[in-house]
């Protein structure tokens, strides 16, 4: 019943390492990687290309990027080089793929259907979302994790006096 409001998380390989909680976000112009993921990818800040870019979070708060990490990203059978803007963030995702990656790979993302579609010649490849992205995470946002709990019911909006 809440599948249509879930964020679209997939599992993907980044530089050959399997990464869970990769958020597909067509509202983001760039690809983002929290700095905590550098070490797990075998990289450090010296591996970054310097950048003076600032990015805005969903809250409107701007953050200066630490640098840019070029990385190979594989989702399903689709592999491509991707530029991640690395930020010091406590985000729930381990990587965020935005419009830059979505458009470069000519895929369709659907949070409603919880999948990605890739064209492969005349065929279509479907990459299904990770149905339990927070199953092993103690750092998950309680609100976001509840979208994946089967007991979560419809959202009711109430106003004062009604």
Q: What DSSP element (H or E) covers 110? A: strand 107-110
Backbone phi, psi, residue 4, to 5°? -70, -15
For residue 138, the enclosing domain spans 3-146
156 is a domain residue: no
27 is a domain residue: yes
pLDDT (0 to 100) of residue 131: 82
The tens digit of pLDDT for each residue in 59-85 reads: 778 889 999 999 999 999 999 999 999
Pick the more confident residue, 142 or 120.
120
- Domains in the chain: how many in total? 1
Please give the Cα distance from 106 to 148 (Å, whole number).
28
Q: What mean pLDDT is predicted for residues 124-128? A: 94
65 is a domain residue: yes
* Residue 103 banded pLDDT, cuts 50, 70, 90: very high
The tens digit of pLDDT for each residue in 140-159 reads: 555 565 555 555 555 555 66
pTM of the model: 0.81
86 is a domain residue: yes
Torsion over CA: 69, 71, 74, 78 (sign): positive
161 is a domain residue: no
124 is a domain residue: yes
Torsion over CA: 125, 14, 115, 109 (sign): negative
154 is a domain residue: no
pLDDT (0 to 100) of residue 71: 97
Residue with tokens 């249509």: 4
Q: C-alpha angle 2/119/70, rounded to 5°?
A: 85
Indicate which CATH number applies to the domain containing 37.
Answer: 2.40.70.10
β-bridge pairing 123-128 and 54-56: unpaired
64 is a domain residue: yes
Does position 24 have pLDDT exceeding 70, yes or no? yes
Mean pLDDT over the full length of the chain: 85
pLDDT (0 to 100) of residue 161: 58
């Amino acid at each position: 019943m809440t599948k249509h409001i879930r964020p679209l998380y997939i599992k993907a390989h980044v530089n050959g390492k399997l990464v869970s909680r990769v958020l597909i976000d067509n509202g983001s112009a760039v690809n983002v990687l929290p700095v905590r993921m550098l070490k797990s990818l075998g990289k450090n800040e010296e591996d970054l290309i310097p950048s003076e870019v600032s990015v805005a979070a969903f809250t409107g708060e701007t953050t200066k990027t630490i640098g840019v990490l070029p990385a190979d990203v594989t989702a399903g059978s689709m592999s491509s080089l991707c530029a991640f803007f690395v930020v010091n963030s406590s985000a729930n995702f381990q990587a965020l793929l935005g419009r830059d990656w979505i458009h470069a790979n000519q895929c369709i993302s659907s949070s409603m259907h919880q999948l990605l579609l890739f064209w492969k010649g005349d065929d279509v490849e479907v990459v299904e979302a990770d149905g339990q992205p927070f199953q092993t995470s103690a750092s998950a946002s309680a609100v976001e994790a509840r979208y994946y709990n089967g007991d979560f019911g419809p959202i009711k909006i109430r106003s004062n006096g009604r």
